[in-house]
Amino acid sequence: MYEPYLSALADLFYPERCVGCERRASDVLCRTCFEALPGVGSPVCRRCGLPTAFATFVCEGCKNVDFGFESAKAPLKYEGVGKKIVHALKYRGYKRVVERLATPLMLQVLDDGRFDAIVPVPLHRLRLRKRGFNQAELLARGVAEKIKATVSDTLEVVRSTRDQVELSAAQRRANVAGAYTATVPLRGRILLIDDVFTTGATMSACAGTLVRAGAEEVHALSLCRTV
């Protein structure tokens, strides 16, 4: 038990291999994978973060969707190296990936860093126990440290939800409706953080919960987004 534990612990801080291609690298990504980062780029829809032909405040993709948040942003597309980075965070919890890569990328797309609190999307407690950490919380702490904000773990999962991979956008919204609760009241401007933004159903349900708990506005930030 002792040695695997130590090496697992070392892995948390010092992955010795590129998280994109598994080859030995001196940093979290080798040069090739760094250059292959799938940036979302600009312009994007100001509301949902989807790449658009022109800068816009609402796009074809989100014009008929109600969101609990004011805006959603993400620096990377959920594909290629972006997907590999999320995988490394989700299953390995690499803190160095958060510090060296994810946090700087997320800060690049955040044009206003004034928030009263940063809130990670929570994991169900059984999933949290199994995994040992919440990757959204790792990201939230990374961002909070840089913009000098406090992390509030006010959100909790009150009802377990189905895995969303196979679900349509409408099914995802139904799946997460009423799944979250806020344990402490909030105020002001909140930054809600998750690893991946897909349809926005999870972020929207969490943001709605934060608004009902007193938040004035909620902005969503994720490392990756499907496009």
Q: Which is nearer to Zn ion, 50 or 149 (CB)?
A: 50
Considering only residues 21 to 80 of the shown chain, the ones binding Zn ion according to CB under 5 A are 21, 30, 33, 45, 47-48, 50, 59, 61-62
What is the total count of residues that contact Zn ion (CB under 5 A)? Answer: 12
Q: How far is the CB of 48 from Zn ion (least distance, A)?
A: 3
| Closest residue by Cα to residue 204 from 222, 188, 187 | 222
Share in percent of the chain as helix, strand, coil (round to 5) = 35, 20, 45
CA dist., res. 66 & res. 201, Å (int): 9
Is residue 220 involved in binding Zn ion (CB under 5 A)?
no
CA dist., res. 172 & res. 177, Å (int): 9
| Closest residue by Cα to residue 193 from 79, 88, 125, 109 | 109
Indicate which single residue of 15, 18, 93, 122 sits in contact with Zn ion (rule: CB under 5 A): 18
Q: How far is the CB of 84 from Zn ion (least distance, A)?
A: 8
Count of beta carbons in the 10 Å neighbourhood of residue 123: 18
Q: How far is the CB of 140 from Zn ion (least distance, A)?
A: 23
Instruction: Kindly list the residues in this chain that would bind Zn ion in the complex (CB under 5 A).
Output: 18, 20-21, 30, 33, 45, 47-48, 50, 59, 61-62
